[in-house]
Chain A
Amino acid sequence: MAGYCNQKGFSLLELIAAIILVGIFGAMVVSFMDTQVTQSGKSLEWMRDEFELSRVMEEIIADYREELQDGTLDLVAFVAARDEAGEINTLYGAQIDAVQVAATAFQPDPAPSPDYTESGADPAIQKVTLTKGDQTLVTIFAE
């Protein structure tokens, strides 16, 4: 046993320092990897939701253009037929969570500004917001 007294192995200080370093680094790696692992599916979910919203929006725009070209467009009636998620999901075989439809308008900013700010409600301008999960798409229909 006496021989082991001179063995130059790990000192307590080394061990403590090593444990602390491993702990700190491990904590960093675990927390980072945990975020990456738990969020890794989120991207796919976002993409899927966004694709669905985009598809539905294109379908609505196609209907809008068709009625506009036919001269049959009644914008208020058009959006009224699509102002609930259930209506849109039935019309387009979709699975969106919510839809918000609101008449809007743009008023000129005080002169000399050439700009306009959203204010008021003009039935000839309808803002449509589609929502699915964390994703939203906004556009305007006008006549």
Chain B
Amino acid sequence: MIDLVYPDSQWKVTGMGEQSGLGPRRQVSFARTGRGRGPYPVLPGNAGSVLLALIVTIVILAAMTAAILPTLFTAEMGQVSASGALRAYYLAEAGGRYTLPRFHAIPVGTHTFKFSGGDTFFEIEKISETRFVSTGVLGEGSTLEARVAITYHLESLFEYALFGGDGITTGNGVVIDSYSSSGNPTEGENGDVGTNAGNLDGIGGGTVVYGVRDVSVGKDLTPVPLPAGAPSWTDKTSELNMVSNNQTVNLGAGQYYTAAINLTNGSTVTISGDVVLYVAGATGAFPTSTLDITAGASLTIYAGGDLDLSNNTLVNHDQIPAHFIIYGLAGCQDIQWGSACGAIYAPMADILLINGAVVYGALIGETITVKNTIDIHYDEDLGDIAPDSVHVEQYFTGE
């Protein structure tokens, strides 16, 4: 029996038989000295050691494989998820494109639009008349579910109390603030004024603005398009071109065309339904005439010419500015306006607000001139109507 212990090693070699030559009883085994025990257990002799070593090796390899598998699986899952997100993104965009032309016909709330033959759909959450979220969804409920949401904001034509593309001029005793015709809580300090020009120096010291003053806004001031078929709407020229003294003309719900409007002394035009009126030429009214929008009715005018409604009586029974809106077309370049509850969007027009007027609504024009002692109360609810442009407000994945 020979024991060889290497000084710097934990290994001890034990031999039996001769040290040199090939003796018949030579047997050498290896054992580890000290406390360090290797992966190979020491057995009496070497019986079963190969099998055990093999099992240990297999266990180690299996453990390594088990460690690698999740990595490979995660990488693959990551790729599948990214792929799903891309598809969901195009679904969300599809929802946006589908919704925009039909937005006002879709009620406020959440609506799912399901594609046939699959688990894909887009979801439209209409938050208000100017904002909605389109969410594309793939594989809902599965581990590979993908959701991408896009928020759309439809910018209103009437986001300002006063907006003059080339500037705003105001006199003394002018107050501009805000309120809400629907009665929603408001602080009254959203009476914003703005211009595409570089300054608002025309707003004098005698004017109080309860809101921000925006300059160099870059707002697109393009006239709204005339609705298709407007020149062919029911012709009311014979009744409206010259409304005789003390005569009353009633317009029920419908779409009408007239070459011009002239309201003479004591005459009245009563609006008793939802009326859309295309006035190809000028609109004028004598001081003692009346434009009367009855309760529950509304009047939308597409004005092809100049407009003077500064001295007559404008009655909007519901006191909701959205019920009386004037869109000035390219030919509408001069507007004179008095006390009224209504809104004007006439980007090519110089709008003049006469002394002492009280306005509930909003005025958008090329220039705005506000005389003295005037109150302008911007209706914040106007921000929910008449989308001007659409932009993506927010984009995110997941929920």
Contacts and interface: CB of A to CB of B under 8 A. Distances in A.
B119 interface: no
Interface of A: 3, 7-11, 14, 17-18, 21-22, 25, 29, 32, 36, 43, 46-47, 50, 54, 57, 61, 106, 114-119, 124-125, 135, 137-143
B51 A118 contact: no
Contacts of A125: 98
A18 B51 contact: yes
Interface string B67-90: 000001000100100010011001
B219 interface: no
A14 B51 CA distance: 6
B308 interface: no
A118 B25 CA distance: 88
A143 B101 contact: yes
A47 B78 CA distance: 12
Nearest to B80: A46
Given A25-B61, A54-B86, A138 B91 contact: yes
Contact of A8 (B45, B86, B109): B45
A139 B24 contact: no
B86 A141 contact: no
29 contacts: A3-B24, A8-B45, A9-B46, A10-B50, A11-B47, A14-B51, A18-B50, A21-B54, A22-B58, A25-B61, A29-B61, A29-B65, A46-B79, A54-B86, A106-B98, A114-B109, A115-B113, A115-B114, A116-B113, A117-B114, A118-B114, A118-B115, A125-B98, A138-B91, A138-B120, A140-B98, A141-B97, A142-B97, A142-B101
A8 B98 contact: no
B62 interface: yes
Interface of B: 24-25, 27, 45-48, 50-51, 54-55, 58, 61-62, 65, 72, 76, 79, 83, 86-87, 90-91, 93-95, 97-98, 100-101, 107, 109-116, 120
B86 A139 contact: no
A115 B112 contact: yes
B51 A3 contact: no
Contacts of B116: 117-119
Q: Which of A10, A21, A25, A139 has the most CB of B within 10 A?
A: A139
A87 B325 CA distance: 47
Given A14-B48, A14-B50, A115 B79 contact: no
Nearest to B54: A18
A141 B100 CA distance: 11
A137 to B, nearest CB: 6
Residue among A9, A118, A143 with the most chain B CB within 10 A?
Answer: A118
A64 to B, nearest CB: 8
Contacts of B120: 138
- List the 7 closest A-B pairs by CB distance, nearest first: A140-B94, A8-B45, A115-B112, A3-B24, A139-B90, A118-B116, A139-B94
Contacts of B50: 10, 14, 18
A138 B90 contact: yes
